[in-house]
């Protein structure tokens, strides 16, 4: 028997074996399928019953059928739905159906508070039996939640609430547009200074001898200092609510640092001022006695641009990658600016040719490092939310702007390698052609800086908000979240009688109809529906002033619902225990 024949025989035997096993399984399953019924099952009773008016929240929906179900496992096949409301009925949340030992009684927990109005119940069994009935809900809602909202542009004061301190958010001056434009100017000023100093060390040591270089360096440094100063001032305006003129005074910056991010902004201004010692006299970056401190200060100045996410809840790797990315981009773009404005301003000798060749080589390396670290940072900050998050879409736009810039860099390097390989001077015509090419690339760099400033003002999808634990000791505190909804709920003292609650919304960034529903499992007791007046991330307090009471001891279910512009959010649910208070004992 040949090898191919043996393979065919083995395949045929395997197929026959699988067919036999399938037939055996079908044969053993036939009797079970035969007892599912003929679709004639019906309801004997229910709780709530058909036509009943309920004034207290029932803990569960109970159905009693005429004929028994096939098995307790058949409960998973029960199709059950409840809707309530007169004008716009809403779907009521239900727990997984359960079947009692008699196989005739099925029940499902009501996880959502019933709103007032007509309620319809529909059911369907696996044997095809189906039916429906209605009852009326006359349950009163408890609607309280004095709260402090949160916005994107806010200043904060504090007020004491049930033993803790919580932010009381108020609108602050809107400086986002001016701040974004100033960040672009700051980026360009910083990279111009750093790129020129780095180029003097790595490619053009003769640069500081030119008068045009001195004028360029001093103007770039002045622009970097003024823009970084104004950025720190406007950030102080947004944090403290102070006036702009008042915030220009550095002492006002320390009134509220706003976390480590404010500290980095102030440190940046100090470092820019220190680098001015070398920017005013660029020869110092080549002097062995001052080269090390100038280099360290320059790198630290640019590194602050890569630490913009400090204080946010992001991966630790984002910060070192951001620093490397900032240094590489500063060398690339800063060198381009120096080439366009100084090196290629006119014809020159061999030192200009050497500078152009050296920058063409090193800028390609800096470009590769910039692209790789940018993609890594993108992955850490946005993950798979490339097109579903605002920050992700902005970074995609940035990558589209960087693409042509990379292409021009590669073409320019090939041109320089071909045309200046054996040149010993830079002629006027060649300088003009190279200046136009580097000018186009520098213009693209400005566009990239614009998009970078825009991306910095948005929050990456992976930069989840930090959880702010309250100072008070709550009896019950739990963090609830799914892919779009993130809430922390705290309750105290979790006993019957007067209670207080804190609801902290972390996601989404916009929400409507945020509601907390609390339902006791004890039969005959009313639940509580709390309407939370938050539309943005923030915290809301239900004070312990008697407006919020828990009437029944034992287990309670808690469900949080809300809607966004794209539809209803998947509810968050949990359970907690309420003990009888000493007063009731």
pLDDT in tens, 60-74: 788 888 888 877 666
Q: Does residue 147 register a pLDDT over 60?
A: no
Q: What are phi and psi of 192, to 5 degrees?
A: -65, -45
Which residue in this structure is represented by tokens 């692209």? 371
Residue 528 confidence (pLDDT) = 82
Residue 223 confidence (pLDDT) = 94
pLDDT, averaged across the chain: 78
Specify whether 445 is located in the same domain as 503: no
Specify whether 394 is located in the same domain as 515: no
Specify whether 127 is located in the same domain as 159: no
Specify whether 540 is located in the same domain as 443: no
Residue 293 confidence (pLDDT) = 93
Domain-located, residue 23: no
In tens, the pLDDT along 331-359 reads 999 999 998 888 888 888 888 888 888 88
Give the end of a domain, one of 456, 480, 498: 456
Cα 150 to Cα 170: distance, rounded to the nearest angstrom: 8
Q: Region 187-199: what's the mean pLDDT?
A: 93
Question: Which of 172-181, 220-229, 335-344, 437-446 has the lowest average pLDDT?
Answer: 172-181
Residue 128 confidence (pLDDT) = 80
Question: Which of 91-100, 197-206, 280-289, 302-311 has the lowest average pLDDT?
Answer: 91-100
Specify whether 356 is located in the same domain as 505: no
Residue 117 confidence (pLDDT) = 85
Domain-located, residue 33: no
Banded pLDDT at 18 (limits 50, 70, 90): very low
Quick one: which of 60, 109, 98 has its CA closest to 76? 98
In tens, the pLDDT along 293-314 reads 999 999 999 999 988 777 676 7
Q: Does residue 551 register a pLDDT over 80?
A: yes
Specify whether 231 is located in the same domain as 113: no
Specify whether 53 is located in the same domain as 195: no
Residue 160 confidence (pLDDT) = 29
Domain-located, residue 9: no
Q: Region 559-567: what's the mean pLDDT?
A: 86
Hey, what are 444's tokens?
């693209």
Containing structural domain, residue 405: 176-456
Q: Region 148-174: what's the mean pLDDT?
A: 36
Domain-located, residue 550: yes
In tens, the pLDDT along 495-520 reads 888 888 888 888 887 888 888 888 88
Q: Does residue 456 register a pLDDT over 80?
A: no
Residue 543 confidence (pLDDT) = 79
Residue 26 confidence (pLDDT) = 35
Domain-located, residue 316: yes
Q: Does residue 529 register a pLDDT over 50?
A: yes
Specify whether 222 is located in the same domain as 356: yes
Cα 126 to Cα 117: distance, rounded to the nearest angstrom: 30
Q: Is 28 exposed, middle or buried (0-12, 13-18, 19+ CB in 10 A)?
A: exposed
**How far is Cα of residue 137 from the mean position of the Cα atoms in its chain?**
40
In tens, the pLDDT along 262-298 reads 788 889 999 999 999 999 999 999 999 999 999 999 9
Length of the chain (residues): 585
Domain-located, residue 463: no
Specify whether 183 is located in the same domain as 112: no
Residue 258 confidence (pLDDT) = 59
Identify the top-confidence range among 27-36, 126-135, 154-163, 236-245.
126-135
Residue 307 confidence (pLDDT) = 85
Q: Region 173-184: what's the mean pLDDT?
A: 77
Banded pLDDT at 13 (limits 50, 70, 90): very low
* Residue of higher predicted confidence among 60 and 48: 48
Percent of the chain with pLDDT over 90: 18
Residue 437 confidence (pLDDT) = 86
Domain-located, residue 11: no
Give the CATH number, domain containing residue 62.
2.60.40.1220
Q: Region 373-380: what's the mean pLDDT?
A: 87
Provide the 3-class DSSP secondary structure of residue 197. Answer: helix
Banded pLDDT at 369 (limits 50, 70, 90): very high
Q: Does residue 459 register a pLDDT over 80?
A: no
Contact 309, 461 (CB under 8 A): no
Give the end of a domain, one of 456, 485, 508: 456
Strand ranges, E, within 125-271: 130-137, 147-148, 154-161, 164-171
Give the CATH number, domain containing residue 518.
2.60.40.10
Specify whether 351 is located in the same domain as 376: yes
Q: Does residue 166 register a pLDDT over 80?
A: no
Q: Does residue 138 register a pLDDT over 90?
A: no
Question: Which of 159-168, 448-457, 576-585 has the lowest average pLDDT?
Answer: 159-168
Say how many domains are in the chain. 3
Cis peptide before 7 (omega within 30 of 0): no
Q: Does residue 15 register a pLDDT over 70?
A: no
Specify whether 154 is located in the same domain as 293: no
Domain-located, residue 19: no
CA torsion through residues 460, 463, 367, 294, sign: positive
Residue 9 confidence (pLDDT) = 39
Most distant CA pair in the chain, distance: 103
Banded pLDDT at 103 (limits 50, 70, 90): confident
Which residue in this structure is represented by tokens 């287990």? 555
Residue 368 confidence (pLDDT) = 92
Specify whether 188 is located in the same domain as 151: no
* Residue of higher predicted confidence among 252 and 554: 554
Which residue in this structure is represented by tokens 């108020």? 170
Residue 19 confidence (pLDDT) = 41
């Amino acid at each position: 028997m040949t090898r191919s024949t043996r393979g065919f025989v083995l395949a045929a035997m395997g197929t026959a074996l699988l067919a036999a096993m399938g037939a055996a399984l079908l044969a053993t399953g036939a009797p079970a399928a035969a007892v599912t019924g003929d679709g004639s099952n019906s309801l004997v009773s229910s709780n709530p019953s058909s036509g009943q008016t309920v004034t207290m929240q029932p803990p569960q929906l109970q159905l009693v059928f005429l004929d028994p179900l096939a098995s307790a496992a058949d409960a998973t096949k029960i199709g059950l739905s409840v809707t309530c409301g007169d004008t716009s009925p809403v779907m009521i949340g239900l727990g997984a159906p359960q079947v009692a030992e008699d196989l005739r009684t099925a029940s499902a927990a009501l996880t959502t508070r019933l709103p007032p109005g007509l309620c319809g119940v529909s059911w369907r069994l696996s044997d095809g039996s189906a039916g429906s009935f209605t009852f009326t809900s006359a349950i009163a809602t408890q609607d309280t939640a004095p709260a402090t909202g949160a916005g994107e542009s806010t200043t904060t004061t504090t007020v004491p609430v049930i033993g803790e301190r919580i932010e009381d958010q108020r609108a602050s001056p809107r400086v986002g547009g001016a701040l974004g434009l100033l960040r672009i100017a700051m980026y360009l000023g910083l990279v111009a200074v750093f790129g020129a100093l780095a180029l003097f060390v790595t490619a053009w040591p003769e640069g500081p001898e030119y008068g045009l270089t001195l004028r360029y360096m001093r103007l770039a440094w002045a622009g970097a200092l003024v823009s970084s100063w104004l950025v720190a001032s406007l950030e102080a305006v947004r944090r403290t609510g102070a006036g702009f003129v008042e915030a220009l005074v550095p002492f006002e910056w320390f009134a509220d640092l706003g976390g480590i991010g404010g500290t980095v902004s102030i440190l940046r201004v100090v470092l820019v001022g220190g680098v001015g010692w070398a920017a005013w006299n660029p020869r110092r970056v080549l002097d062995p006695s001052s080269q090390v401190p100038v280099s360290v200060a320059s790198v630290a100045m640019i590194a602050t641009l890569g630490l913009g996410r400090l204080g946010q809840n992001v991966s630790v790797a984002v910060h070192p990658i951001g620093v490397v990315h900032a240094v590489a981009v500063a060398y690339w773009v800063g060198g381009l600016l120096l080439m366009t404005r100084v090196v290629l301003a006119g014809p020159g000798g061999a030192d200009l040719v050497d500078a152009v060749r050296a920058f063409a080589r090193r800028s390609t390396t800096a470009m590769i490092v910039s692209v790789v670290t940018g993609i890594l940072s993108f992955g850490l900050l946005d993950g798979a939310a490339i097109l579903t998050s605002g920050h992700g879409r902005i970074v995609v736009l940035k990558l589209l702007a960087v693409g042509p810039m990379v292409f021009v860099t590669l073409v320019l390097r090939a041109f320089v390698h071909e045309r200046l390989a054996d040149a010993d001077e830079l002629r006027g015509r060649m300088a003009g052609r190279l200046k136009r090419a580097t000018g186009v690339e520098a213009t693209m760099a400005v566009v990239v800086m614009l998009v970078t400033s825009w991306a910095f003002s948005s929050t990456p999808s992976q930069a989840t908000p930090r959880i702010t634990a309250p100072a008070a000791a709550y009896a019950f505190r739990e963090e609830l979240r799914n892919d779009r909804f993130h809430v922390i709920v705290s309750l105290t003292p979790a006993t019957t009688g007067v209670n207080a609650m804190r609801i902290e919304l972390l996601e989404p960034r916009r929400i409507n109809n945020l509601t907390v529903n609390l339902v006791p499992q004890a039969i005959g007791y009313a639940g509580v529906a709390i309407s939370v007046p938050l539309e943005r991330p923030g915290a809301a307090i239900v004070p312990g002033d008697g407006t919020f009471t828990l009437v029944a001891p034992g287990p309670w279910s808690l469900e949080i619902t809300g809607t966004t512009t794209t539809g209803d959010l998947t509810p968050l649910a949990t359970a907690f225990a309420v003990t009888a208070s000493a007063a009731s004992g």
